[in-house]
Amino acid sequence: MPKPSDAPVYDPSDFLISPSDARGVSYHLSFRCMPDMVRAIDQILQSKTFPLGTRGDLLRFALREGLRILDRLEPVSSVMKRVDIVNGMMAEENAHMDFMAVFVHLDETVRKYMADSAPEQAVRTITVVKHQFESMPEGYWRDRYLAELQNRYGKALALAPKGITLSLVRGALGPREPE
């Protein structure tokens, strides 16, 4: 298993293959394979080295990569471009839903701490989340997360190194309407 300091040399989103197309259509495939192949699949999944959670995730990834290899060896009338386009759109849609969910959850957590008169914990949570966003791979989503965090909690983040009081944090956070 890689050490936390080892940055992957791949984009984790390349491993995520949608199980259906944009209309929700999918097919169930069934086939036989050698026991050692199943053990290899399970070992890869258990290692948590790659962003693959299920056998289906790994098999969809392997199928896509195998089709790409075959297309490079002998181009055949293929729908791989369409598959890549649909998968890219589904990945973006999932990334956007994750983005929205993170901020819904963060807003709720901050509100709970404020209701519990724990402004230090609210600011600490925002600061920890900021650090996690900063450790994301460079790119659009990292920038988007950081910009949204600054937009929602910039004043509260400015209080992090200073003395924090409930009134200061309430003023910094203020009531926010969900977007």
Q: How far is Cα 34 from Cα 31, in angstroms, rounded to an integer?
A: 10
- Which of 47, 78, 109 delimits the end of a domain? 78
- Which of 27, 53, 78 delimits the end of a domain? 78
- pLDDT value at residue 14: 83
The residues, ordered by sequence, that sit 6+ positions from 22 with a Cβ below 8 Å of its Cβ are 86, 89, 90
Let me know: does 49 contact 56? Beta carbons within 8 Å. no
| Domain span holding position 115 | 93-173
- pLDDT value at residue 156: 82
User: Could you tell me the two tokens for 54?
Assistant: 């299920």
- Which of 53, 78, 103 delimits the end of a domain? 78
For residues 100 and 163, state if they share a domain.
yes
Give CA separation, 98 vs 33, 68, 81, 102, in Å: 35, 28, 25, 6
Task: Tell me the whole-structure pTM to 2 decimals.
Answer: 0.57
In a domain, 57, yes or no: yes
For residues 18 and 69, state if they share a domain.
yes
- pLDDT value at residue 75: 78
User: Could you tell me the two tokens for 135?
Assistant: 């450790």
User: Could you tell me the two tokens for 104?
Assistant: 């819904």
For residues 169 and 104, state if they share a domain.
yes
Number of domains making up the chain: 2
In a structure prediction context, what are the per-residue pLDDT tens digits for the chain, which is 179 residues long?
445 555 667 777 788 888 887 778 899 999 999 999 999 999 999 999 998 999 999 999 999 999 888 888 887 776 777 777 887 888 888 889 899 999 999 999 999 998 999 888 888 899 899 999 998 888 899 999 999 999 999 888 887 665 444 454 555 555 454 44
For residues 21 and 65, state if they share a domain.
yes
- pLDDT value at residue 10: 78
